[in-house]
Amino acid sequence: MTTYSFRLFDLSGNLLENEFRDDRNQIAYMIRPVPQPRLGFAFPELPSPVEIVRQPDWGIALEHEPWRAVLTLADNETLHTVQIGQRQEISVEEMLRRDEDGSKRVFVGLDGQEYCWKPASRRLQCFDANDGLLAVYEYLVDDPSYAKLDIKPLGWAMTTEIITTLILTRYDIRRS
């Protein structure tokens, strides 16, 4: 079994507007607000949805993996819903829940299997139900990047889900 993983760098740590770049400094994923048309009348502006988009020219992209996820906000700070690929839009609470002791963030993948993010000192680790390691997100010190994300072979086919649920997990940790 191969132990090769690929690495993405989180450039800013910003949850709602950011880039993940690979070792060659090529943009792999962009996280950005979706531009919304101005209505031109006196309704309060709603926050723009945020999209997580795998770049089409990124060399490691897998054909069957979703290339896009969309997060909607209830206001400028509160995540409301998430949609990954063609999956039906669901609430953030439905997508990501805390386990019984509150230490892990659990989600169900597009494949119907359960996965979790486990916080550790200066890192978050994503595991499958059999404790297989899918990804490690590690905060960096004295580095131009905010953090690095190592995607292990078990996680290659679900990179968009990993990045999306990582953002949701970091959001949940910041709120708690």
Q: Is the pLDDT assigned to residue 6 strictly greater than 60?
A: yes
Q: Is the pLDDT assigned to residue 163 strictly greater than 90?
A: yes
Return the pLDDT at 64: 66
Q: Is 165 helix (H, G, I), strand (E, B) or coil?
A: helix
Return the pLDDT at 56: 84
Going by pLDDT thresholds of 50, 70 and 90, the confidence category of residue 44 is low
Tell me which of 73 and 38 has the higher pLDDT.
73
Q: Is 26 helix (H, G, I), strand (E, B) or coil?
A: coil
How many CB atoms within 10 Å of residue 108?
Answer: 15
Return the pLDDT at 175: 85
* Mean per-residue pLDDT of the chain: 88
Radius of gyration from C-alpha coordinates of the chain? 16
Q: What does the domain layout of the chain look like in residue ranges?
A: 6-175
